[in-house]
Structure 1
Amino acid sequence: MTSVLTQVAGSLRRRGGGADRPPDGFDRRLLAPMMLGSVLNPVNSSIISVALVPIGAAFGAPPSRTAWLISALYLATAIGQPVVGRLIDLFGPRRLFLAGTALTGLAGVVGMLAPNLWVLIGARVLLGFGTCAGYPAAMSLIRSEARRTGHDSPAGVLTALAVTTQTIAVVGPSLGGLLIGLGGWRTTLALNIPLALAGIALGLLRLPKTPLPERAEGEPRLAGLDLMGMGLFAVMLVSLLVFLMEPALGHLYLLAVVAVAAAAFAVRELHVDAPFIDLRVLGGNKPLLLTFARALLAYVVTYAFLYGYTQWLEEGRGLSASQTGLAQLPLFGTAIIVSTLTGRRPEIRGKLLAGAAGQVAACALLLVLHSASPIWLIVAVAIVVGVPQGLNSLALQNAVYHQADPERLASSAGLLRTFGYLGAIVASAANGAFFGQRAGTPGMHHLAWFMLAISVAFLVVTVVDRSLGRVGPATREIGQS
């Protein structure tokens, strides 16, 4: 994985034309820490997919319980991303990057030594919070470089970030299968230790130091931070996500908690001077809201495939963890190629339309699979899924970059990931509901119909959004924002 990041960074340096930091160009020394920090969350999101079955066997847990390994990370990250993003907006990326990367390494140690499933779930919570900083920090650095140079950052930089944030996530199953074959499922957690050490070293050496914001004498350091708003936001999300994981009549009270917390959050954010999420600005930015909605829909399908289909390959099709990882390699290769070829094109609407159509086609293909499906068909499915994987994450990221308030880009990037993780939680809940005790073919087909309906909704939301036609060629110069 690190070799892939190195090659992408090297390619960008060569295209940049020589010096690492020309006075009027993007500082390409930032690429390595940006990309490594951004890859921590997506790789940990996907690497667990091939480890769910062996972890369940080790601890005697069915798919409905091991699904919490997925949801724990997304629950922590869905809350942490906008919170850490806001902290980055206020205090700069370096401090949060280093703290988050250190927490990621600690989570790797806890997970590697976990004696039972619940400790392992706790490690995944730590991992979720630890990996929060990488992506919003990278988006903040891109924006700050644009301000420093007075020019929009190179399209290749955003492409590289898209590759490391979502596209490269599809290497997780292949990497996980390899690690499990070498040393068992615990190696998928231990991987975070060397990655965190490398991230800390790169952060210390290359990330710029930024001064702390000015404050009045005697004023607390966090005086400008909307802690109450963050707390209400967390209560709202936790209640919602716990209900989605185990929807039942006995848990309907959680929806009441969600409604009360949401109402209190809205009142708070509309009346505080420095809100955690500026609802006035966000409410007036309908294109950005539609982008968040598309992220939710797109990632329901992405993660339902990543976890549900992967589990089916092991239990329904009978492949080993290593074989399943190899079967997903074409997805990784296709996504990387698609992202690289389309990354420098400024248009966003066409990418989203093609990505939506690709998801519809991929879900339809899942309906023809069965327990004796030939390997060539499994490879074909992976290739088809790789196309929207390479298009959607890139287009959504670029849309937020151009649609968000420049002063809140990091927190807006965090919100994009939050909506994506809401989609992942919905996908995880769907996997548990359709599979139950075993990931068999009938359950996979039911899941495919659900994914197909979500894919059609994503396509419709994209078709009707005419504002996308104004994002890309006609966007403003970042340095003039």
Structure 2
Amino acid sequence: MTTLVERVRGRAPRASADSDSVSSSPPAGFDRRLIVPMILGSILNPVNSSMLAVALIPIGRAFGAAPSQTAWLVSGLYLATAVGQPVIGRLVDAFGPRPLYLGGTALVGVAGALGVWAPTLGVLIVSRVLLGFGTSAAYPASMWLLRSEADRTGMKSPSGILAALSISNQVIAVIGPTLGGLLIAAGGWHLIFAINLPLSAACLVLGTLRLPRRKGLTDAQRIDVVGILLFAAMLTAFLLFVMNPGVDHLYLVALALIAAGAFTWRELGTAQPFIDLRVLSGNTPLLATYARQVLTYTTSYSFLYGFTQWLEEGRSLSASGAGVVLLPMSATAIVVTAVTGRNARVRAKLLVGSVAQIMGCALLLTLGSGSAIWAIVLIGAVIGIPQGLIGLANQNALYAQADPERMGSSAGLLRTFMYLGALLASAANAAFYRDGATTGGLHQLASLLVVVAVLFLVVTLLDRSLSRIGRETE
């Protein structure tokens, strides 16, 4: 087991070159055959997230549902993903990336087909839940492959590949709302589910041809099924309460606490825990990264969904018009990521991103139903700065801080905290938009987001370990 200092500095020992190798005769450098399936798989979740942002209003009209009801289309996916990411990540650590990647991307195709022919809002929510589980495999699989290739080739930090993954997700953030608006204009909201069919097929073909095979479980890789079930029960109960808080639902908090106690007892008492709480509790920098992740994505997803709904209802733009207005936000994020991506150091990125995040949230308080389009575009561009900096910085931090032997599950937990932020954002949107996406509701949401963004800055300033990450690559 590596020490915390070794993990933070990226000096983990090289893995044994056995069944984890990518092929019988891999190339000397990073195996670039892996990049396309890694990127294609990783965009499945953001493409479904970003397209839905402009489809919530049309879907609500189609089923006669209020924003508080259509919010379950967002919450259902993120609840499934929050639970599924670390579970599938642990399975990736044990079985390797290939079977989980293929199974997950196949499920995406099934979920897309179900969404196309969904007769009710309830069935559509089920489709989104299946999409959440299906899209949970690609990211931990990609992070596992990165660590495996780094160990094989001796790369200290594959910052270029990490940047490519981040940029591809930012590109989808650009394409998603606009593509969603165009698809809705062309054939209705059903088409945003249909697009999963060709994407799933492409992932299956590329994954079958290019991903490495791995031998079965060893004694050191037994799966802690009981721990997984207790973790799922704990997180599900807690998140269900977060999505619909109230005195009548306090029993969910009690269930979450009981499951948490049982989970802690189980994980501390088993030789092969699902989540090694002893190691995790001693890795303060990694815990800080998880905290930053939930805070920043609470802000990011509140803006993505809350601002987009306000553009369509409060500012009276069409779905396609809202998608176009959001283009500068994602374009800014892409440029920022492209310019800074190859630099593995993270502290400056997080500090600049946190300040821009506070500014962008505060500017939302200036908007009204008659606000000029140029002002709306400017605010979006400011929000694009932290989106281009923070996600990549947290990803680089996790790569340096996590135990290499548990890279898949650690990466899955990073996504769990990301989607916890998304669920908190969905709950905030539902709370402030009970009577529709009004300007008053937007201002209440913005006030909350300013507080969250300031808390993110505080967590970043207190984490002194960040200054060490990336030094060895310079």
Q: Is the 1:50–1:310 Cα contact (8 Å) retained in structure 2?
A: yes
Which residue matches 1:297?
Answer: 295
Amino acid at match of 2:102: L
Which residue matches 1:315?
Answer: 313
Residues 339-350 of structure 1: matches in 2 within 5 Å?
A: 339-350=337-348
Which residue matches 1:406?
Answer: 404
Which residue matches 1:324?
Answer: 322
Range that drifts further, 144-153 or 264-273? 144-153
Residues 146-295 of structure 1: matches in 2 within 5 Å?
A: 146-152=150-156, 154-165=158-169, 168-214=172-218, 224-295=222-293
Q: Calculate the aligned-residue CA RMSD, in Å.
A: 1.5
Paired with 1:379 and 1:437, the residues of 2 have a C-alpha distance of: 25
Range that drifts further, 175-184 or 440-449? 175-184
Which residue matches 1:143?
Answer: 147
Which residue matches 2:22?
Answer: none
Matched, 1:355 2:359: no
Paired with 1:300 and 1:60, the residues of 2 have a C-alpha distance of: 28
Which residue matches 2:440?
Answer: 442
Paired with 1:446 and 1:34, the residues of 2 have a C-alpha distance of: 39
1:414, distance to aligned residue in structure 2 (A): 0.3
1:205, distance to aligned residue in structure 2 (A): 1.2
**Any idea what the Cα deviations from partners look like across 1:394-436, whole Å, max 9, x if unmatched?**
0000000000000001100000000010000000000000010
SS at match of 1:41: helix
SS at match of 2:342: coil
Paired with 1:215 and 1:339, the residues of 2 have a C-alpha distance of: 41
Q: Is the 1:72–1:128 Cα contact (8 Å) retained in structure 2?
A: yes
1:207, distance to aligned residue in structure 2 (A): 1.0
Paired with 1:181 and 1:390, the residues of 2 have a C-alpha distance of: 29
Amino acid at match of 1:29: R
Which residue matches 1:479?
Answer: none
Which residue matches 1:455?
Answer: 453
For residue 103 of structure 1, the aligned residue among 101, 107, 125 is 107
For residue 33 of structure 1, the aligned residue among 37, 44, 65 is 37
SS at match of 1:443: helix
**Any idea what the Cα deviations from partners look like across 1:145-184, whole Å, max 9, x if unmatched?**
1111122353210101122346633532122111111111
Matched, 1:44 2:44: no
Which residue matches 2:91?
Answer: 87
1:128, distance to aligned residue in structure 2 (A): 0.3
Residues 365-380 of structure 1: matches in 2 within 5 Å?
A: 365-380=363-378
Which residue matches 2:426?
Answer: 428
Which residue matches 2:128?
Answer: 124
1:22, distance to aligned residue in structure 2 (A): 7.7
Q: Is the 1:39–1:169 Cα contact (8 Å) retained in structure 2?
A: no
**Any idea what the Cα deviations from partners look like across 1:288-338, whole Å, max 9, x if unmatched?**
000000000000000000000000000000000000000111112111110
Matched, 1:55 2:59: yes
TM-score, L = length of structure 2: 0.93
Q: Is the 2:159–2:396 Cα contact (8 Å) retained in structure 1?
A: no
SS at match of 2:471: coil
Residues 381-400 of structure 1: matches in 2 within 5 Å?
A: 381-400=379-398
**Mind listing any 5+ residue stretches in structure 1 that lack a counterpart?**
1-20, 217-222, 477-481
Amino acid at match of 1:144: S
Q: Is the 1:269–1:278 Cα contact (8 Å) retained in structure 2?
A: yes
Amino acid at match of 1:194: P
Paired with 2:46 and 2:279, the residues of 1 have a C-alpha distance of: 29
Paired with 2:389 and 2:299, the residues of 1 have a C-alpha distance of: 14
- How many equivalent pairs are there? 450
Amino acid at match of 1:406: P
**Any idea what the Cα deviations from partners look like across 1:351-396, whole Å, max 9, x if unmatched?**
0111111110100111101001111111111111111010011000
Q: Is the 1:79–1:234 Cα contact (8 Å) retained in structure 2?
A: yes
Paired with 1:86 and 1:130, the residues of 2 have a C-alpha distance of: 15
SS at match of 1:288: helix
**Mind listing any 5+ residue stretches in structure 2 that lack a counterpart?**
1-24
1:279, distance to aligned residue in structure 2 (A): 0.3
**Identity over aligned pairs, percent:** 60
Moved over 4 A (4+): none
Which residue matches 1:468?
Answer: 466
